[in-house]
Structure 1
């Protein structure tokens, strides 16, 4: 269960609601746990040659069950989706840069 799941606060780690109905942001240690779980999950995906865990969700869940559960438990649902999409975007960016460098493109200094 992510921080903002429909669990209705039954989890001891569920975020506390504020008076205006919002939620208190995760503290530094909760963010660190999320990032550790994300890195372990992505490491498992790399080991199994899975780039897009959104499109290949069933395969990712089958090959990385423990990492998937920890990632989902330690990160907000919105963060999980963001990290998964960002992984694909960064892969595509890196592939484009490699292709351009192979075609002889050169870096332009930032101004």
Structure 2
């Protein structure tokens, strides 16, 4: 019954163990994940789409303009990674905008330093 989509024999993407959990990613699978993430985010950047998951307009635009790249991204990365990267994209943008605003107001923005043992 080849017409059932869940019966696909596609061997790409994260593999599952016999217990149902995902296997730890190898260097090769991580590189493939990062490559597909970067291609998807470049498409979002070209089309001025920041948030592809939280806003209705962003979801629709990303599906229309970058849908194939998003499918590759979701195929090549674990779901938790996809969700994390998409949320982190928005958080990083907001952080950059806050820093730019503070610097424009004359604030001296310094990265926090970790405490040292002494």
TM, length-normalised to structure 2: 0.77
CA distance in 2, matches of 1:86, 1:41: 14
Which residue matches 1:39? 38
Larger radius of gyration: 2
Tell me how large the CA RMSD over aligned residues is. 2.1
Which residue matches 1:63? 65
Structure 2 counterpart SS, 1:105: coil
| Partners of 1:41 and 1:68 within 8 A in 2 | yes
Counterparts in 2 of 1:108 and 1:86: CA distance versus 1, 3 Å: closer
Alignment of 1:15 with 2:15, yes or no, is yes
CA distance in 2, matches of 1:62, 1:9: 24
Structure 1 ranges of 4+ moved more than 6 A: none
Which is bigger in relative contact order (C-alpha 8 A, separation at least 6)?
1
CA drift of 1:17 comes to: 1.2
Report how many aligned residue pairs link the two structures: 104
Structure 2 counterpart SS, 1:64: helix
Which residue matches 1:3? none
Counterparts in 2 of 1:69 and 1:97: CA distance versus 1, 3 Å: same
Residue segments in structure 2 that go unaligned for 5+ positions in a row: 1-5
